[in-house]
Structures are given as structure tokens and as C-alpha cells.
Chain A
């Protein structure tokens, strides 16, 4: 297996009694766009800063390209960082800011000018050389910070919440731009964010952290469809969690009895019969159909036992979001289930309204079974 570019081995960071990062083992491949995702205070920024050399791990070590970074200060690492506040030097022009790192490397003046111009072109700030930071907008300052870091051609670029200070429209633009730049330049990006949409959209792989512990590292789709535990399932996207007992477990299928629901899965679950498990059902994977007195419930595949993967409910509330609608459906026992339905047609003859009785059904392939 080719050596990973970045390796965290048993990295732990304590501030006095407070444990910010608890024993992280993580590998990041060259060329990846890796996102560290988690709620505030989960330790992701601390982990990033340790990679940059701005914090020193209490235990463990970090390797970049096979080289142990212990004792190596930030100015000697092949890593550059785009800070959350951009940290653009206010008393220097854009040109001087970007050229700062090159000046330190004693790059001769003509080459320096070319590279600065290249970097400016890359972030689409051509012509802004002589401007001062206080003459730039937030988004432009961020691009200067990006250019300043990339111009040194580091092996790794670190981004600390790069889009959090931008307004919504700009954020969307920058998302695509950053991904394009990364592709063009081929540098490994490691980004820290608390916005899961951002992480899923931009990254090739994400690491989800909570309270200093790395919960799961996977591709965005794997994180979404195959969450490792309840925290990840809940943190990424919306989810309906059914807590229940593993009643039947075979090689090819399993049955979970949750309060009021019987959930039949089309694969085996590695767990003891009778154990407590959770079934995570994404709102968009639930089908909504009208329930009328006397009519039969929607059909289910033959292998599914009767009454499984089916729930009776009443629509209590709906949130119209334009391209989709979110329904809050009350099922037996008073429990609320969220269902998301794309508004495929402009006008439906029989749409769903409040207080409407409905059937909730789903495919046996849809639920993700969580053991923790």
C-alpha cells in the first residue's frame, strides 16, 4: 500500500484537565480533499493546528510523507494554512502578502513576480496587486490568503472553516471554486468545518469528530448511507432513529422490533439476538401514500413479513421548501416521523395535507442498522 501522505498516530491533546483530542489515528492520502467535520468544540481545529505545528501534541506523533514532525516548528513544515480570519497582513499590499512566503524562501525577484501573478490568476484576483487589505471585501481577502498559501506549493494545504464568514451566495460559489482549484493544483487539502453540507459537497473523504474522538472516516456517500453510529447518523442530514430489539437475525435478513414498528432488513446484522440496536431511516427513503378506510395498505415485496416496513400515521405538519416538502407524521405511540418528498409535479390532484391519514412504507434496503 502506498504510504499515506499524512499520518496521525495516537495523537492526543490535553489542555490541563480538558481533553481536546483523544487518541486519534488517521491517515490522509496524497491528492485528497479531506474534511474534518464536527460540532464546535469537538477538537477538529485543534487537530488541524497540530498538523500545522501551531499546537504540540501531548501524546502521539504526526508524520508527513513519512517524516516525523515532532519538534519541527511550523515554519519548517511543508504545510501552509488558510486561517479562519484569513490573517492577511493589514500593512502590506496584496502583492506583498502573497510574496511574503517566497521572500522568506529567497526566491529571486523575477521568479517571485511570476509566481505571484500566477497565484492571483488562480484565485481570479488579477489586477489586485497593489490593493491594501482594507480595500478588499471578505471574500477577496480570503482569496488572498488562499493564494498566499498556495504560492509556496506546499504538500498540504490546511483550511480552517474557510467558508463560515462568507454570505450564502458567496459560499456556494467558493465551494465549487475551491474544489476546482484543488483539482487543478493537485495539492492535498485538509479542511475543518462544522457545516456538513460543505463537507459532503467538497470533500473526497470526511472524518467526523465529536468530543475529541474520531467517530467515522468515510466518503461522503458512505457517511450518509452507512453511518457508523447514532451521532454520525444524526449529525449528517436528517434521520429517523428507531430504537429496538434485534428479534430475528439470519444471514440474509434481520428483523427489528421497535416501539410500534417492525423493521425488516434485507441483510444480516452482526449482533446477538435480543440485543438493542437502532435503525436509521432517512426521511427521503420513506414513501408516503394515502390511507383510506377499507382500502388495503401499499404492497410490499414478498419476502417481507406482513406488517413490517409499514406504519400508520397522520400528517401533523408540513414544511414547504420549494423543491421538496418535509412532512411531520405522527405514528402510533405519539412518535413523530419525518418524511421528505420531492415535489416532482407542479400540481398534484391528491396531495397530502394536515390531519391526513397516511401509510409510511420503505424498502428493506433503506434502513441502516446501528449497533451504537
Chain B
């Protein structure tokens, strides 16, 4: 490449790479932008732009079923995230801190929910909750979501564990030893010293668990009873059967929520890491 003023390995400065990345960006984002754009379109048919309207958003807000489904999804995600954080952090500490018999087997089992195809887990949950531990019908509202929540926790907490484990690897054990030397009991060490170090990982893990839960379709599809509908499941039936721009509006709202959460999470993580790195 003659005549360019860029360093030889600075690939991004060369136009073929810029073009490629541009095309990939278009490929990834154009469909989403189209979807968002047409949520404001007056026409029902999603091809020709006819006019700007917020009608479809009003339809979403009026759609009781949809709002209920969204509420369900948020509740499930919140509870699942909380419990997953606890379980994930606990097991990460367990593996990091202790040696025990058959540890590699346990760590393998822990990785299974991450690796196993979603359909297999969905099917397993279906069988479990209909035959082995049937979730009682007609329970009051949050508890009726119990089966789904349990399923979500099961596939979320190993992800949290992986993230927290990675963060623990950079922990300076001398801090723990210093605390012990000063007389702190185990639980104090855990809360005062270990948990603050884990904080960036906990936030990242919470973000991941929340998104995984909010977005999940397959496992929820199999675990949900007829009366418990989550947002992705409701949108799925809307996409399958009655496609109107209302779906676009609902999707856009979910997109906004997800993106906002991601940005917030990353910001907190970035700030946290900066503080942590400086302090230690």
C-alpha cells in the first residue's frame, strides 16, 4: 500500500477495512432501525412510509395483555437476577476458596447450563414442572411465576459464577490474611473484603442475568403455563398471528430498555474498575 501515512499494522486506517466494517454495521443495524422507524408509521403494512404517529405506542399502552406480560417479564427478571447473583457468587467463592473431592466434576456440572442447548433445558423444565414437581395452579400473582423464575435462575447463575470467578482470580489473598490477622471472623471477611472486590463482577453478572432472563424465549415457552405469559412469548404470538406495527412499538420499547440497562451497567462497571484499580 504505497503512500499511506498509517503504521503497517493499523488496519483500521485502510479503506477496505472501513468499508467492510461499514457494511457489517449496516447489516447488523439496518433491520433494527427499520423496525424502530416503522413503529412510528401510520400505515399498517410496514413498507411505505405514510406518516408519523404515536398511535401504535398508545396501542401498546392500552393493550392490557401486553402490559401484563411485560410486568411478568420484569418481575421474573428481577427475582431471577437477585437469586442468581447470590447463588453465582456463593459457588464462585466455593470453587475459588476450597479444594474438595471431585471438584472438576462439579465444575463441569456447573458449566452444563451454559453449554446445553436451550431446547434441551426447556424440555427438561417442562417435564419437571408437569410431572415431578407440578407447580400449583391458581397461586397468587408473583408466585404463579415461580416455575419460570426457577428455570431462569437455573440457567443464569452459572453465568454469574463464571464472571465472579474470573474477578476473584485477581484477588490479592494477602488482604484476606491481613483481615484474619486483625481478628475478623469469616463472614466479616466475606462481607467487608471479598464482596467489595467482587463488585464489578457482580454488576456485570447482574446485568447479564437480567438480560438473559428478559430476553429468554425458548425455556420460558416450555415452562410457562397457559396463564403466565411473558413479554417475549406474547410478542412471539403477535408475530406469528397478528402482525401490526404494535409489535414494532412493543419491540422498540424493549430495545430501549435493554440498551439503557447495558449502558448503565457498563458505565457503573467502568467507574468501579477505575476506582478499584486505583485503590488496590
Interface of A with B (CB < 8 Å)? 53-56, 70-74
Contact = CB atoms under 8 A, between A and B. Distances in A.
A56 B7 contact: yes
A74 to B, nearest CB: 6
15 contacts: A53-B8, A54-B7, A54-B8, A55-B7, A56-B5, A56-B6, A56-B7, A70-B3, A71-B2, A71-B3, A71-B4, A72-B2, A73-B1, A73-B8, A74-B8
Interface in B6-45: 6-8
A74 B4 CA distance: 13
Given A55-B7, A73-B8, A74-B8, 12 more contacts: A53-B8, A54-B7, A54-B8, A56-B5, A56-B6, A56-B7, A70-B3, A71-B2, A71-B3, A71-B4, A72-B2, A73-B1
A74 B8 CA distance: 8
Nearest to B2: A71
A56 B1 CA distance: 13
A107 B9 CA distance: 26
Nearest to A74: B8
B208 to A, nearest CB: 34
Contacts of A71: 2-4
Interface residues of B, number: 8
Nearest to B5: A56
B186 to A, nearest CB: 42
Contacts of B3: 70-71
A72 B3 CA distance: 8
Contacts of A74: 8
A201 to B, nearest CB: 33
A133 B6 CA distance: 32
Contacts of A53: 8
A57 to B, nearest CB: 9
Interface string B123-154: 00000000000000000000000000000000
Nearest to B1: A73
B120 to A, nearest CB: 38
A53 B2 CA distance: 12
A26 to B, nearest CB: 21
Contacts of A72: 2
A141 B84 CA distance: 49
Interface string B243-267: 0000000000000000000000000
Contacts of A73: 1, 8
A53 B1 CA distance: 13
Nearest to B3: A71
A215 to B, nearest CB: 27
A317 B159 CA distance: 64
Nearest to B6: A56
Contacts of B5: 56
Nearest to A76: B2
A71 B8 CA distance: 10
B68 to A, nearest CB: 54
Nearest to A70: B3
Interface in B206-252: none
A54 B3 CA distance: 14
A70 B5 CA distance: 9
A305 to B, nearest CB: 60
A53 B8 CA distance: 8
Nearest to A53: B8
Contacts of A55: 7
Contacts of B1: 73
A315 B101 CA distance: 69
B42 to A, nearest CB: 49
A258 B217 CA distance: 86
Most buried by A among B4, B5, B7: B7
